[in-house]
Amino acid sequence: MINQIVLKALNEQFEKEFYSSNLYLSMAAYFSANSLNGFANWMRIQAKEEMDHAMLIFDYILQRGGEVIVPKINEPEHKWDSILEVITATYKHEQFVTESIHNLYSLATEHKDFATCNFLQWFIKEQVEEEENTSELEARVKLCDNNKSYIFLIDTELKSRVYTPVSINQI
Ligand SMILES: [Fe+2]
Ligand SMILES: [Fe+2]
């Protein structure tokens, strides 16, 4: 039987991953509306990945015999003034998620829930990648210094990102 405090925190993380997915979908819509289809593609894939993260937690809670609470998701931001503002918000959001995962890990340790610690290892590693990718993208957008030709080059490159699904049996 899973510890109820850890279960509550897992359900809260489930909600955060869902929110992340909707936030990135909102950013994808913003980029599409601004004819930046590469950035939009990158965000759409990001949104799918976040939904996968949510589903990993969903499946894990069920595996442990816990109750999944499908939450109400707050409406994400949908207005930004520049590409850089969106990408900076993305990097900041990933840092927020990392902190949340780390807190969850600490809580699981505190309650000697080693199975949950083990499950969260994948997320800890994933967040290193997420922060690396988003901070690098932020740095590259900053380097463009609003030069439209350089932005166009990055946009073209981001069109090639492909989605790789992940499920609980793979982690
Ligand atoms: Fe995530
Ligand atoms: Fe993420």
Q: How far is the CA of 151 from the centre of ligand 2 (A)?
A: 23
* Chain-centroid distance, C-alpha 79: 19
Q: How far is the CA of 147 from the centre of ligand 1 (A)?
A: 31
pTM score above 0.85: yes
CA distance 135 to 141: 10
pLDDT at 98: 99
Q: Cα dist. 97→22, 70, 89, 132 in Å?
A: 14, 19, 12, 13
- Ligand closest to Cα of 17 equals 1
Contact present, 11 and 121 (Cβ < 8 Å): no
* Chain-centroid distance, C-alpha 102: 14
Which residues, by Cβ under 5 Å, contact ligand 2, an ion? 130
- What domain count does the chain have? 1
CATH of the domain at 89: 1.20.1260.10
Contact present, 83 and 35 (Cβ < 8 Å): no
pLDDT at 48: 98
- Identify the domain containing residue 139 by its residue range: 4-170
pLDDT at 59: 98
Q: How far is the CA of 147 from the centre of ligand 2 (A)?
A: 28
Q: How far is the CA of 132 from the centre of ligand 1 (A)?
A: 14
What's the DSSP call for residue 171?
Answer: -
pLDDT at 131: 98
Q: How far is the CA of 114 from the centre of ligand 2 (A)?
A: 23
pLDDT at 85: 98
Which residue stretches of the chain have pLDDT < 50?
none
Query: How far apart, in Å, do the first and last CA atoms of the chain sit?
Result: 21
Provide the token pair at 167: 């499920």
Query: What 3 state SS string does 12-26 have?
Result: HHHHHHHHHHHHHHH
pLDDT at 151: 98
CA distance 82 to 77: 14
Q: How far is the CA of 134 from the centre of ligand 1 (A)?
A: 13
Q: If residue 150 lies in a helix (H) or strand (E), which one and from where to where?
A: helix 148-158
